[in-house]
């Protein structure tokens, strides 16, 4: 059993489909025959045209939504409701605006029944790691976008998730801040090696961060191709983008993705 | 295109002005503005009261119907020193306040609880929404005679009327506030490990709070309306009863005096509510004055 456990994938989506049925009875297929495997400690990036079903995929893994067909497995077991091993970083701000920074970070441990003192201790620790110790008592609206994102990271990481899902977490940030956040994310991830699914629109971001890049088709989403990224770690995100192999990866994947993006735009304009 | 000079535009400083100077200037500008606002408020008040007094004095309007500021003040003074036809003024004021306050607190607590309960439960809200709409479309004051018939001339009937006036306003806002709670934020809380009850307490209630407070501001006024209408229809004491008696004796000054009393009390309640709200909403962004 023990040896087996190390081989069980952290996340498995097996022939998953997801249909949305509108109140008028019309159905829309967002995912069809979707297969994905994430090994323990692996960093997977997912790129695909807008509206193809990337967020839907993540929602299935969290347990917030159920597949219409197929199976989602976490660490070898089926998903029943929200799994405590999962952490999720949202695209938009999901911080609680009425709580100051430290209370936001403490939320997870307190929800999970830790004592106040213990929660405070580890919240301080995490705020130090994301470099926000001086802002403990600030409210979210008093922080910059990049700082708020770091609070979100601390809020998610404090629960020590084994499975980390990120839905375009940095897309609202400017380019410099984004690079800083990439470094920070890789550093935090390297400490504990969670299994990550990172959804993004930004191909360079995907290649710079991930071990594997999944390219999805225009909706309904299926996996079009999977590219292993064999760039050495630890990576310096600010420099990696000038390496020839990085550029090569980006070009190859973009060739593949472009068709889908064009198809998605064509469809959207036809519908309009 | 002409340049319209804007009075409120922030001043442009010479290069090299120190921060302290700029801050001092900003502070002074703010004070000046506050004083100007206060000044114009007083001017308008004095103007209106003066015009009223003058018009009544010169018989441009009939003081029998419209009374006059001095007449009203005299009546208030008389009530305060000698009491009203129905006993001391303070007792009558207290009777109305007691009815309104009990109705207000009971109505808003019930409104918040039911609003959040139904807002969180789609099935229950689908069932009850039609009944709530139906009851809500009854103009509340027509219930006054029924309540008085059932519960008598005393406290209970007025409280019931004030309650029903407050309940629906607060309920509707609490319900809407729950519905408007950010879905991402709820999902975030749940993934962080919150149970249903924890989601309600830490996400739903705080985000519905601004909606609830908006309704509380108006609903104290509604509670007073409930109490006074109840007293019109049948009571032995209270401000509504004083107005009723004043009407019976064609005492215009008495009616206006009672109105002013109610106005003052409601303003006071509004001020207290705003204070509590500011205290609770310290997390909200504050307005910054536009100063470079
Ligand atoms: N709750 C829902 N009800 C009905 N349809 C939905 C729902 N959620 C998503 N969809 C549909 O499913 C499809 C996929 O949506 P999804 O949010 O997963 O896209 P996405 O890939 O995350 O897009 P983006 O990159 O723009 O975030 C879309 O066509 C969307 O309209
Ligand atoms: Mg999305």
Q: Report which of residues B270 and B12 the model is more confident about.
A: B270
Closest CA of chain A from B191, distance in Å: 6
| Overall average pLDDT of the B2-16 stretch | 62
Ligand 1 center to residue B222 CA distance, Å? Answer: 45
pLDDT at A73: 94
Q: Is residue A170 part of a domain?
A: yes
Residue with tokens 């930004």: A202
What is the tens place of the pLDDT at every residue in A76-107? 999 988 999 999 999 888 899 999 999 999 99
CA distance B5 to A75: 68
Residue with tokens 């375009």: A168
CATH superfamily of B78-280: MetI-like (1.10.3720.10)
Q: Which domain holds residue A19?
A: 11-85+161-266
| Total of domains in chain A | 1
Q: Is residue A119 part of a domain?
A: no
Give long-range contacts, CB 8 A cutoff, 24+ apart: A233-239: A233/A186, A233/A190, A234/A186, A234/A190, A235/A186, A235/A208, A235/A209, A236/A183, A237/A179, A237/A182, A237/A183, A237/A186, A237/A208, A237/A209, A238/A179, A238/A183
Domain ranges of chain B: 5-61, 78-280
CATH number at residue A41: 3.40.50.300
| Overall average pLDDT of the B18-27 stretch | 87
Closest CA of chain B from A56, distance in Å: 13
- Decide the pairing of beta strands A86-89 and A212-216: unpaired
Q: Whose CA is nearest to atom 3 of ligand 1?
A: A20
CA distance A91 to A106: 20
* Ion ligand 2: residues, Cβ under 5 Å: A 55
The whole model's pTM is what?
Answer: 0.83
Question: Radius of gyration (Cα) for chain B, nearest Å?
Answer: 25
pLDDT at A272: 65
pLDDT at B212: 92
Note the ipTM here: 0.90
Cβ of B192 and A107 within 8 Å?
yes
What is the tens place of the pLDDT at every residue in A207-224? 999 999 999 998 788 999
Q: Is residue A148 part of a domain?
A: no
Neighbours of B27 (CB within 10 A): 12
Tell me the HSE value of B253 on the side-chain side, using a 13 A CA sphere: 18
Q: Are A75 and A8 in contact (CB under 8 A)?
A: yes
pLDDT surpassing 50 at residue A268? yes
Ligand 1: lining residues by beta carbon, under 6 Å = A 20, 28, 30, 48, 50-56, 219
pLDDT at A173: 86
| Overall average pLDDT of the B260-268 stretch | 92
| Conformational region of residue B71, where left means phi above 0, alpha means psi within -120 to 50, and beta covers everything else | alpha
Mutate to test the interface with B, among A64, A92, A96 (most CBs of B within 10 A): A96
């Amino acid at each position: 059993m023990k040896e087996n456990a190390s081989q069980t994938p952290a996340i498995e989506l097996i022939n998953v489909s997801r249909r949305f049925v509108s109140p008028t009875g019309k159905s829309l297929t967002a995912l069809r025959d979707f297969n994905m495997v994430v090994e323990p400690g692996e960093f997977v990036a997912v790129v695909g045209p807008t509206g193809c079903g990337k967020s839907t995929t993540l929602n299935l893994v969290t347990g917030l939504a159920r597949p219409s067909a197929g199976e989602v497995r976490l660490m070898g077991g089926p998903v029943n409701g929200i799994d405590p091993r999962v952490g999720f970083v949202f695209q938009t701000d999901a911080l609680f605006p009425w709580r100051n920074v430290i209370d936001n970070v403490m939320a997870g441990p307190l929800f999970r029944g830790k004592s106040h003192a213990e929660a405070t201790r580890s919240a301080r620790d995490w705020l130090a790691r994301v470099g926000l110790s001086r802002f403990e008592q600030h409210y979210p609206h008093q922080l910059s976008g990049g700082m708020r994102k770091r609070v979100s990271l601390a809020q998610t990481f404090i629960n020590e998730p084994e499975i980390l899902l990120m839905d375009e977490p940095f897309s609202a940030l400017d380019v410099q801040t984004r690079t800083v956040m990439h470094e920070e994310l890789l550093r935090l991830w390297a400490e504990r090696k969670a299994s990550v699914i990172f959804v993004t629109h930004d191909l360079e971001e995907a290649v710079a961060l991930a071990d594997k890049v999944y390219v999805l088709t225009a909706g309904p989403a299926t996996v079009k191709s999977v590219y292993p990224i064999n760039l050495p770690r630890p990576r310096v995100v600010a420099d990696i983008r000038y390496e020839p192999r990085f550029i090569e990866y980006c070009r190859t994947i973009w060739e593949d993705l472009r068709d889908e993006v064009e198809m998605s735009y064509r469809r959207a304009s036809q519908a309009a | 295109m002409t340049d319209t000079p804007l009075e409120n535009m922030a001043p442009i400083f010479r290069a090299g002005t120190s921060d302290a100077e700029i801050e001092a200037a900003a502070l002074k500008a703010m004070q000046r503005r506050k004083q100007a606002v206060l000044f114009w408020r007083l001017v308008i008040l004095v103007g209106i009261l003066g015009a009223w007094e003058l018009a009544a004095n010169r018989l441009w309007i009939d003081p029998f119907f419209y009374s006059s500021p001095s007449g009203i003040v005299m009546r208030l003074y008389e009530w305060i020193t000698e009491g009203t036809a129905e006993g001391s003024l303070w007792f009558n004021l207290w009777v109305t306040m007691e009815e309104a306050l009990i109705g207000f607190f009971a109505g808003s607590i019930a409104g918040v609880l039911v609003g959040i309960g139904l807002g969180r439960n789609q099935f229950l809200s689908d069932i009850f929404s039609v009944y709530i709409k139906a009851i809500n479309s009854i103009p509340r004051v027509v219930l006054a005679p029924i309540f008085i018939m059932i519960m008598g001339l005393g406290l209970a009937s007025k409280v019931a009327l004030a309650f029903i006036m407050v309940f629906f306003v607060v309920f509707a806002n609490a319900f809407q506030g729950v519905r408007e709670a950010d879905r991402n934020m709820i999902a975030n809380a749940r993934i962080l490990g919150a149970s249903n009850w924890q989601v309600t307490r830490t996400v739903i209630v705080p985000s519905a709070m601004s909606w609830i407070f908006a309704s509380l501001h108006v609903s104290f006024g509604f509670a007073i309306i409930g109490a006074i209408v109840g007293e019109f229809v049948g009571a032995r004491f209270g401000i509504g009863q004083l107005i009723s008696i004043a009407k019976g004796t064609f005492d215009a000054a008495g009616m206006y005096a009672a109105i002013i009393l109610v106005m003052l009390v409601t303003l006071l309640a509004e001020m207290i509510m705003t204070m509590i709200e500011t205290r609770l909403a310290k997390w909200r962004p504050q307005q910054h004055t536009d100063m470079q």
